[in-house]
Amino acid sequence: MNDVFSVEGQSVIVTGSSQGIGKVTAERFAEQGANVVVSSRSTEKIEEVVAGIEASDAPGEAIAVECDVRDRDAVESLVDAAVAEFGSLDTMVNNAGASFMAPFDDISENGWKTIVDINLHGTFHCSQVAGGVMQEQDGGGQIVNLASVAGTEGSPRMSHYGASKAGVVNLTSSLSNEYADHDIRVNCIAPGFVATPGVASQMGVTADEVDRSSVARRMGLPEEISDVIQFLASDASSYLVGETIEVKGVPRIGETEPDLR
């Protein structure tokens, strides 16, 4: 692989990495020689991910740190653990998120607040704490936020989720400007439909049903999002700052009832 895409030797935190895009991304970074902090609210699940990385003989090291991104103290402990174990924090991947489907009139205040707290407030916590460390170390760092096309285009029955992800997109633009002078690049990915465990439970489509070799599809795999995350963490994206990259397959042009596969 061209060295410009390398993440070897980096220290990386991936929030929400017990399953789905986060899990695949943590595994990818370890495979590529980065040292990874695997994090989510479930200690058991993240320990399983770390055990899998260790069993794979990946050159990168991995540790598990439980963290609820809504809790500022927990986020500070997460970042402290990364620096204590690996000496620095080079890339923060803000992947932790939550969603559920419901008509707008059926979303309770608590349901709305929960989604916004995890998706937007959690990204605020992680970016601010990670950014503080990156400003004090040589070389700055990268912050990669995970939004959604629901945040760039809207999404019926997921208005709470779309609003929170729209906030992440805007935060990315604003923060990238403030952090650029500190050599910290902030960018964002807005995935479309991706065959994750969450999508499988909500929409009934699994990764086994997705033909990755077909260009003419709108359902992606976590590995394809991880490709872009690695790109944004590497020197290959050195001239990308404050961007939100939509990764969503074939555009919808004059069609109805698209086949997600």
Which residues are designated catalytic? 161
Q: Measured between alpha carbons, how far is residue 242 from residues 13, 41, 96, 136 in Å?
A: 20, 28, 20, 21
For position 138, what pLDDT does the model report?
Answer: 95
Average pLDDT over residues 53-73: 98
pLDDT, tens only, 81-139: 999 999 999 999 999 999 999 999 999 999 999 999 999 999 999 999 999 999 999 99
Average pLDDT of the chain, as a whole number:
93
| Residues of the chain above pLDDT 90, percent | 84
Average pLDDT over residues 23-38: 98
For position 2, what pLDDT does the model report?
Answer: 67
Average pLDDT over residues 59-85: 98
For position 28, what pLDDT does the model report?
Answer: 98
Of 1-5, 57-61, 103-107, the one with minimum mean pLDDT is: 1-5
Q: Measured between alpha carbons, how far is residue 6 from residues 12, 89, 123, 188 in Å?
A: 13, 16, 25, 19
Judged on CB neighbours under 10 Å (0-12, 13-18, 19+), 135 is: middle
Angle, CA 130 vertex, CA 149 and CA 92 arms, to 5°: 45
Parse the chain into domains and list their residue ranges. 3-247
Chain center to CA of 122: 12
- What predicted TM-score, i.e. pTM, was given to this entire model? 0.94
pLDDT, tens only, 202-245: 666 677 777 878 888 878 999 999 999 999 999 999 999 999 99
Query: Is residue 256's pLDDT more than 70?
Result: no
Q: Are 102 and 80 in contact (CB under 8 A)?
A: no
Q: Which residues pair with 63 in a beta bridge?
A: 37
In the chain, the DSSP E strands lie at: 11-14, 35-40, 62-66, 91-94, 141-146, 184-191, 193-194, 219-220, 244-247
For position 257, what pLDDT does the model report?
Answer: 54
SS3 151: helix
CA 116/CA 40 separation, integer angstroms: 17
For position 197, what pLDDT does the model report?
Answer: 75
The CATH number of the structural domain formed by 3-247 is 3.40.50.720
Q: Are 139 and 184 in contact (CB under 8 A)?
A: no
CA 261/CA 249 separation, integer angstroms: 10
Q: Are 166 and 152 in contact (CB under 8 A)?
A: yes
SS3 10: coil
For position 74, what pLDDT does the model report?
Answer: 98
For position 203, what pLDDT does the model report?
Answer: 63
For position 213, what pLDDT does the model report?
Answer: 82
